[in-house]
Structure 1
Amino acid sequence: MEELGAPVRRIWQEVLVLAVVGIEVVLLVLTATSPGEWWRAGLAALLAGALMFRHRHWPWLLPLVLALNSLSWSLAILIIVTYAYATRSSSRLRTFLVSVLAVASGAVPVAALQGPAISTTGTVMGLVLTVLVVAAAAATGMYTSTRRMLLAQLHKRAEQAETGQAAAEEQARRAERTRIAREMHDIVAHKISLVALQAGALEVNSDLERAQVEQSAALIRQTATTALSELREVLGVLRSDGEEAPLMPQPTWEDVRRLVETSKDAGITVDLFDFIDDPVPDPLARTAYRVVQEGLTNIHKHALHTKARVALIGEPGTELIIEVSNVLPKGFTTDLPGARMGLSGIETRVAHAGGTITSGPTDDGRFEVRAVIPWPTTT
């Protein structure tokens, strides 16, 4: 696995290295006046070939090329090797040591080529020039390495941010699908259970008078029409291209009371104990509506012939207590399927509102759903 910000091998760079060293070798050959200069040109060409392997073996290959370059004294190889090592090494100490080696490899030819006729000043100037060339190559390499690593880190952060954004969007989509599925369950389960109860009453009581049949049929039609209308509004959210639309219907506190009356019309024996005198905020009313709705839906499905009750207790600044209970049925069965997500859905709603909910049999032989939700004081 490549290190973050490591140089990438490109063909044009390899061609450029060979071209630069090749031009220097050609100039050495054209100006050669002795076999030694021919030998230097050949060694420079071999070192240029060795540079083609610098991407994989640079930690030991580049210092070795620098050492051998003291015999050929190729200025191009001196600059390329110093730059290549500085742009790859993450250790500034090793880069400094290699730069010292580069100065030494350049100083040896300078001292060897200067004859007695050349003054000490000329030798010093040659060494200073070598130091400046090496320092410039090393500094450029370190700058390139730092810039490349910074860009790689920025690119990596951008990819992580994009991945995180995609994950957040997917999580939001899943949450929205769950929210819509919960709304659809609340609507379909409750309304269709009412329709099933009303239709079942017509099927069992075949000796009903015409007026009673018409009343039951009208109630079935009204319930089914309401369910279809509410379901259409929920599905409309899926086709919305704008911002998140509120899911409909949005019940109020009066709808909570109306739920009990609707269940009574469907043939359920249910009593309402309403001890609420203060206006209930709409968010709290919506949560209460779903709790009562789910409790009554389960009674419709599993405890049709038992007595039920709904108790609503609370006041602002304390808590809203919702109790939906029924006598445990004996031997009653139902053909209505269970979605197994109703109680889970209202548990999520109540928890989101900061409350708690419990459900299960009680000591007095009833099945009870009890929710306790904070009721903030309105200002």
Structure 2
Amino acid sequence: MSQSSAGDLLAELESAGVRVWLEAGQLRFRAPQGAMTPTRREALRARRDEIVAHLDNGGGVALVPDPARRHDPFPVTDVQAAYLLGRGETFAYGGVACHGYGELIYPALDPARMTAAWRALIERHDMLRAVVEADGAQRVLPQVPPFEVPVIDLTGRPDAVVEAGLSAVRAEMDHLVHAPDRWPLFAARITLADDRAVLHMSIDFLIADFISVQVVLDELHRLYHRPDEPLPPLEITFRDYQLAERAVRDSPRHARDRQWWLDRVDDLPAAPELPTVSRPADSEGRFRRWETRLSPQVWEGCASAPAGTASARPARCWPRSPTRSRRGAAGAGSPWTSRCSTGHRCTSRSTRWSATSPRWICWRWTPIRPAASTSGPATCRRSCGRTWTTGRSAASR
């Protein structure tokens, strides 16, 4: 018997009011009086193994297109729900959308051709026409107004004017918070200069994740350069996928998987207690990109620092409960206090969470005092390889 015939039997039973499920690997059912006839009972018994496999695999949930209902509302994912909450002011450090901004630089651009490519892309991808209503449901709009790509023409202008123009567009778009219930949840601009053309893009991750954005950019490029070459048709929509995924959650397999993780929650390591910078509640959340470069000598010191004994261990620490501290001359101006692996109580001006091991890596150490249990001249090693010895002040280094 095939999986589909198992599904047909279950569908027939369901229409008669008979509910069938798995419990601890056993087939169970509940039925109104008279609904479970001898014939139906025998069919369940004869096809038991296949029905168990069918239910264990998600109840035969299939990812199938449903074009007739593609514009009906459907639930948001858990991640989308988190994005909706975070963009509001309910939580600390809120008021910021999960949003991407980028600039694509071309030798030249035809604005009309780029606009046509955008419009074809919007027609092709349902989620580029999606909005999220106030009740938390999302839906794809059947029709939207023609998408416009504004053009800032700075050809023939001095370099300083061009750079100022690019910076102005960047400042306008790089922290956009799109209204989720108003289309579009993305934006584009074109800046034209003598030596280049810049396509500015802003997109809300409510409607596209990182991989989806890569698909959008690839297809935008193809539609711009080869508009007469058709793209392969799309049969499955995000709505189809989301509804199928939610149906799987009702399966015994999902319940077992969920219980497996719940049984281990208490043993999982806690999330890193990352330091945060306080800001006024009414201030605007802004992001800046920071970067630095390590010399080969410093990097070699980081990579080759020995694990060794406590007196030779590299400066790695993990604050169980970091607290703010301004006490002690050595700690002046350093807000974070913790105990490092040598047993010293230290402050660090720069800490990073290690992705390869659940520890804090402190790049600058300042010993305040040795722990009571520490015997001998315990030391802390800096990332550059130099050793901090108890009894020397930070100023001496």
TM bucket normalised to smaller: under 0.3
Larger helix share, 1 or 2:
1
TM-score (norm 1): 0.19
Larger strand share, 1 or 2:
2
User: Relative contact order (C-alpha < 8 Å, sep 6+): which is higher?
Assistant: 2
